[in-house]
Structure 1
Amino acid sequence: MNQVKISHLVTEKRNPKTMNLDNLNTLEFLKVMNEEDRTVAESIENEIEHIEKAVVGIIEALNNNGRLFYVGSGTSGRLGVLDAVECPPTFGTTNEIVGIIAGGDSAFVKAKEGAEDSREQGAIDIESAGVTENDVVVGIAASGRTPHTIGALEKANEIGALTVCLACNKNSEVGKIAKIAIEVEVGPEVITGSTRLKAGTAQKLVLNMLSTASMVGIGKTYKNLMVDLKATNLKLIERSKRIIMEATECSYDLAEKVFEESGRNCKLAIVMIMLDCNKEEAENKLNASKGFISKAIV
């Protein structure tokens, strides 16, 4: 078996601050861990320009009926799937954002660590997902060398999709393949090689930025209100009414009334109240403004 070279990766280095980890008391350890976690956001700041390029590409793709795909293995794959599945209830998306994890959906709840070693399967997963040249594929790999992710990005490039990588080592293998490289170097982990820690936190924060900024960019918010949320449970029904009240400064009773008249569509209800119009007129206004309330109410 060929030796896999990982000793040069920063994510595999030992952290000098935790060399005596097992001799620290609980409070001491928690303080060290908290200090290390504080550095993550600062590391991301260095990659903001690359993150911006990715968001611009994602917005362009979504505005042209393209999709955003996340692909990764282990923790990286789970974080991608997590971000994807949280978008429908938050932003009213349907199939625009898709998470692919090595080993299939069952790998989300039960580790299939060997699944990450197949470059060929990464390519197959991209083909099976129906990726086209209109899409964006974000390959997530803390180490930056995961074969499955590499295979997925190579196939996506071959198809003509925009490729982005999210790694936690500089000069990563995925960074050399992706058209846009986001490489957040967070340094050695508190527990050597445990990239579910700082690297995972960095990935989660960047994924938050990619999806949230992209959703704002295609009109899924009004000011800082998530007006495209799906009212699929009692809490979200109530939240929708509160959002309508915040956006329009109307009473609870009016928000509730128009919310029902709109077919429980928060965005439509806001436009109906602000323009004093019916549901059909509000729909026409929103369609003309490509979903942006701020443009619809001018």
Structure 2
Amino acid sequence: MNTANEFLAQKKIFRLGDLPTEAPHPKTAQLSDWAKGDLARGLKVLREVDLDALNRILDLRAELGAFFASVAATLESGDRIFLVGCGATGRLSLSLDHLWRRKFPGSAQVSSLMAGGDVALVHSLEGFEDFPDYGARHLLELGFGPNDLVIGATEGGETPYVIGAVEKAAEMSRRAPQFLCCNPRPLLMAKVERSRRVLADPRISSFCLDTGPMALTGSTRMQASSVLMLVIGLALDFGRDVDGAFAALVRWIDYLSRQDVTPLEAFIVHEANAYQGGGHTIYASDEYAITVITDTTERAPTFNLAPFDNPHYPTGRHSLTYLTIPAAATAKESWRHLLAREPKPLEWPEIHPKTTKDYLLSFDFGRKALEIRQGLPGPLQVFEIDTAEKHLRLRFMGVEERFAVPDFGGSLLDHLTLKLLLNMHSTLVMGRLGRFEGNLMTWVYPSNGKLIDRAARYTEILLRRQGQDDFTYDEIVRAQFACKSTLSPAESIVHKTMAKLLGDRVRRP
């Protein structure tokens, strides 16, 4: 979306504010205040929202039986499963691919593809998710065949890239593709034409994992992606044993409800202070690198932060954090460690120059990454995440805490437990830095159609709170595009757009 006119000509397909996953959560309206002045309250409520979303899945036991059976039948026949997603759901797809290959070394029965290819794990590529043809093309290039199964994961239920891959699978395979989302089916059918097309297609099996609103408005990297990863992962792990899967889920929810998350307070304060003091961090992890990099990557578009530094393509703007995998000596080894397989770049330079293998391997997450980060201005702090005595161990700036997990050993529930902890941690760190207001992502970077709409809606909400409720959606979008061209890392797109609109109104004769 290069111009306001281009977006507005098709705005109907991106206006998604009526969907529950895009709505402000009533429990977290004061989240930014708690981040700065009451971390214990912020952590408590974030855990409540996680548990609310997870408990909703318990009611879907009967409905999900068919999904589990489809996954099991594919694996039992020796055929392949392709996990498809964009952004957060793309990263959860790569994570599940990783976990499968760690559990079954040498097996390629589970593969993953995300919009932009593997490099999008660490660096968002603008615009890819808006094109269904790209999803279909990517699927074919990976060798999808007539006996294979596609599982499409889309938090909102409307992502064009995922829909393109799912519809292509419906044309080609004898196995009905599975389409999982987190918004109610009737609402998607009524509001979103491309969703209606998929949900009404008799060749496609669809399931709604209704999570309700996100703790941070629209931030589907949180509850929605957690629930999608959980359900798909349980199906891969338990096969036809749905009772066993849901028994494990009940035990995990019980564990989470009793888990003490207040030890995260010290880590949140220290990391926020490190950035406010002009420093940087680097996360160090071997076993949990895929989960750590998912959380750290997703901070950039959510909070308008610099994406991961690439020493081969310097920009003069440095990422606040990075990842090092101590077990990896080279860039190639670090990618193999992250993915548990060889990387699969798209090699579509005619569409985007950053889809190539050369570009992907220019990111080095091995031991050399620590040396590179030490060369940045300001102090560098290392945040270590590893295992000790069957616990997750977090160490940072002299603080060490251990978290027990119910399914220890690098498995699905271990990684999901860490994911929930990191989501809470990073969200509240960003709140202390003022990177959201209330529970609105006011610093979101509008890099695609969905994010342009989000930023426009948040602008509209804040203007309304100031009694300025007569700006049209089109006016807000045009102002946003004008502001984006000069947006600096120190500015919020929402607040800059508001200032422009109000300033232009004052200056009118």
Structure 2 length-normalised TM:
0.41
**Offset from partner CA, 1:235-279 (integer Å, 9 cap, x none):** xxxxxxxxxxxxxxxxxxxxxxxxxxxxxxxxxxxxxxxxxxxxx
Say if 2:167 is the partner of 1:154: yes
In the alignment, what sits opposite 1:99?
A: 112
Match of residue 84, structure 2, among 68, 71, 90: 71
Say if 2:221 is the partner of 1:208: no
In structure 2, runs of 5+ residues without a counterpart are 1-6, 189-194, 243-326, 328-509
CA distance in 1 between partners of 2:55 and 2:214 (Å): 16
Match of residue 187, structure 1, among 202, 209, 212: 212
| Cα distance change on mapping 1:84 and 1:215 into 2, 3 Å | farther
In the alignment, what sits opposite 1:166?
A: 180
Give how far 1:109 is off.
1.4
How large is the Cα RMSD of the aligned pairs?
2.0
- Contact persistence 2:53–2:212 (CA under 8 A): no
CA distance in 2 between partners of 1:13 and 1:157 (Å): 31
1:20-99 correspondence runs (5 A):
20-24=30-34, 25-92=38-105, 94-99=107-112
Higher alpha-carbon deviation: 28-37 or 91-100: 91-100
In structure 1, runs of 5+ residues without a counterpart are 218-232, 234-298
In the alignment, what sits opposite 1:123?
A: 136
| Cα distance change on mapping 1:147 and 1:202 into 2, 3 Å | same
Give how far 1:8 is off.
1.4
In the alignment, what sits opposite 2:460?
A: none
| Cα distance change on mapping 1:197 and 1:84 into 2, 3 Å | same
Match of residue 156, structure 2, among 138, 143, 155: 143
SS in 2 for 1:193: coil
1:257-296 correspondence runs (5 A):
none
Identity of aligned pairs, percent? Answer: 29
CA distance in 1 between partners of 2:117 and 2:81 (Å): 18
CA distance in 2 between partners of 1:9 and 1:109 (Å): 28
Say if 2:21 is the partner of 1:11: yes
In the alignment, what sits opposite 2:224?
A: 199
Q: More helix by proportion, 1 or 2?
A: 1
Give the residue type in structure 1 aligned to 2:176. L
- Contact persistence 1:119–1:151 (CA under 8 A): yes
**Offset from partner CA, 1:127-168 (integer Å, 9 cap, x none):** 112212211100000000000001001100000242001211
Give the residue type in structure 1 aligned to 2:238. A
SS in 1 for 2:239: helix
In the alignment, what sits opposite 1:250?
A: none
Give the residue type in structure 2 aligned to 1:26. L
Give how far 1:126 is off.
1.6
- Contact persistence 2:135–2:161 (CA under 8 A): yes
Give how far 1:113 is off.
4.4
SS in 1 for 2:137: helix
Give the residue type in structure 2 aligned to 1:18. T
In the alignment, what sits opposite 1:134?
A: 147
Count of matched residue positions in the alignment of Structure 1 and Structure 2: 218
Structure 1 length-normalised TM:
0.69
